[in-house]
Amino acid sequence: MGGFYHGLNGVGIAAARLGLGPLLGALSFRRIVIASGFAAVAMLTALLGLGGVWFDVGDVQASAFARLARDLLGLERVALAP
């Protein structure tokens, strides 16, 4: 959620720096809210897909990064409910 906010805020700042501020200023607040809502749904859908909700991602504990995180952070494997 924090990344989404900062990304949305960064677009506004970058647009102002690139001279596109008046273009964004012409958009209504309602259109900005609707567009950011669609972006939030897309981000949530992508995160659920990467998390294995939409399709099988295999054994995530088998990756080298997961082993490194487990060793560095002292994490244990958690069995999920079927």
11 vs 24, residue with greater confidence: 11
Helix (DSSP H) and strand (DSSP E) numbers for the chain: 4, 0
19 vs 77, residue with greater confidence: 19
65 vs 36, residue with greater confidence: 36
Q: Is the full-model pTM beyond 0.85?
A: no
DSSP string, 10-24: HHHHHHHHTT-HHHH
* 14 pLDDT above the threshold of 80: yes
Per domain, the residue ranges of the chain are 2-55
Q: Which amino acid does the sequence have at 28?
A: S
Tens digit of pLDDT for each residue in 15-63?
A: 888 887 776 667 777 877 788 888 888 888 888 877 777 777 677 667 7
